[in-house]
Every structure is written in C-alpha cells, then in structure tokens.
Structure 1
Amino acid sequence: MRKIVLASRNEGKLREFKALLSPLGWEVIPLTSYPDLPEIEETGETFAANALIKARTVAFYTGEVALADDSGLEVDYLEGAPGVRSARFAGRQGDDAANIALLLKLMEGVPWEKRKACFRCVIAVVTPEGKEYLAEGTVEGYILEEPRGKGGFGYDPVFYLPEYGQTFAELPLEVKNQISHRARALAKIKEILRVY
C-alpha cells in the first residue's frame, strides 16, 4: 500500500479518511506518527488556504504525500459563521460541546426556515515534489434546536438532513461516508490518488 499522511490529529477525521481511502490502496498515516512535526497554524481566511497550509507543511516535513482538509459549518442566519473558525468557534480548539452550545444559543428562537446550513470541505493533496491538488464538497441541511445522536463529531449532532430524517450523528458511518461534504470532496480527488 502507498502511504499518505493525514494532516490532522482529529480521531474522527482519521477514521473517516481510512474508511474512504483504504479501498484505493492508500495507507492513511496519522499525524501523531510524526511527533517532532511543528504545530501548524491555520492562518488562512478560506478553507482552501488552510488546507494548503497544512498539506504543504506535512509534505515538506515528512517527505510523503500529504492530505489535509479544512472544513466547517456555514449557517445562513449567521452570515456564514462559524465558517473557517468552526473548530474554535467558542474559543478553545476542538471543544465540540462548547461550540454546539454557542451555536444553539445564537440560533435561539430562529424559525425552522431560517435554520439552513451547509457543511463545506476543501481537500488539498500535496506531493513531496510540490504538486498541489484541491477539491471541494458541500452538503446542505438544517440546524436543530438540540443535539441528537451519538456518532460523528463536531457539529454532527445538530446538523439535520431532511431527506434522511436524521442528524449526521444519527446516520450510520457507512451512510455518512457516502454523502458527507468530506466524501464529496474526496470523490473529486480520488482520480488523482488513483493514478499518482
């Protein structure tokens, strides 16, 4: 199997990418396998900029093909927030419970028809030779008034898909992996990974 380093320490993302990439013959190596790698600051103003920052850094330091994604929740009522700050919306990086609590507080009393939201993901693949590839995927839904479901991570418990009658956190992983923003972005980049 060929190696690809996932530029993330998020266990949920690691599980998803392993499930999506192993059938293509890629062994997904977690970032934790490189403890000396410097902390990567996501200073970009867009998902694409942040994904490229992470993938370039990891490809440079590891000498392997690197894959990074930057993704987040864009809520129409909040004019696209939390957006690129989704993981640190409430202040501390990766505090899912606090992020959801803040989101629900800001959405208090907002009628159903104004609770539209979108998960957006941009994936960057950078090779040690410096080739760069980008792909984007989105999925539309609504923000519930309270969390539902035990699966997934991030905002999954409050992101509701009307066509499934469930949140991302209630969907079986194999279903989520077929329809998620990440899966849709990855589907666009699979051909590149197939021939590289």
Structure 2
Amino acid sequence: MTRLTTRIAAGLGAIALVGSLSACAGTPGTAATVGDQRITVAEVDRIVRDLPAPIKQQAPGLAHPSYVLNVKMRAAAAEQIAREKGVPLQALTEQALAESDLMPIVEESPAARELAFGEAEVQVLAQRLGAPVVAAEFADIPVKVNPRYGMSGLEPVELLDNGAAPLIRNGSLSQPAGGPQ
C-alpha cells in the first residue's frame, strides 16, 4: 500500500468513527431508542437546562445528561411494559407523586416533574408487577444508546457523593459518567 492509499484509508476510518459517535441508530439527534420510542438529545438537553437551580446545587448529578437520559429510557421501557400488561401506569404514578413530599418541587418546574415522574413510573411498575418481573421485561426491550452518554442499556444509574455525580454500572464496567459531552 502506498503512503497516499494509507492516508486515505485512515481518513475514511476517522470519518466513519466520527459518524458512528454522532448519531444513534443512524438518526442524528437521537440520544437513545427504547423499543418503539425515540428519545432526542434535545429532550435531554432541555431537562438539564430547565432543572431549577436549587436542585442543581443540592444534587448536581440529577442534572447530568447521562442521568437524565437513563431516567427517560427506563420510564419509556416502563410505559411500554405497562401497556402490554394493562397497568394504568400514568394514573398510578400521578397518585404516587401526589402522596409524596415531592409535589411542591415538581409543581414549580416542568423539567423536575418530568424527571420525578419518570423515576416514579419505574418504581410504581416494580411495586405493581414485582422488581424481578420488571427486570426481566427490561432485558427483552431493544435499546440503542448514543455512545456519548456512556450507557449500553437500561441499567440503573446511581448518584454518588450525595448526588454530585452519576455512576453507570453496566455489567463488568463501572465508571463515573461525566466524560466530555
């Protein structure tokens, strides 16, 4: 191979790599697809941007794009399972939130409400069907995630250091999320 051919091949490889990292499932602007639902980068960015300052100060990890996407992905999966199983998830989740001490916070901010609602949907479904059933159902849902978020599927994301940073656990790899976004 000549030097020119080698340089062209290297250049094409770099272009292919950049293209694969910039989109999910071939759709620009997609953060993830969960079953039949597409979650956009814009949706994730909107929630991160619109979370109230007190939430961001008390638990900065809640405003991390990987954490927000994880909540949205798990909620999308929970909604799909609930539809299949005939569980009135929205009504049950509304009731659970109304009975919680989160109402003053979520009533003030649509972004906080969306995040809290997503978290609550998974918990409500797990209480209704059982955590092992929900985990098994999650495993059957096809998921594609934009690599920039550092996740591979519906694994839960934990918050470390009193909510300061998210930690993604995906099988054999445990790493703090928060690399370059």
TM-score, L = length of structure 1? 0.28
More contact order relative to length (CA 8 Å, sep ≥ 6): 2
- Normalized per residue, the structure richer in strand is 1
- Normalized per residue, the structure richer in helix is 2
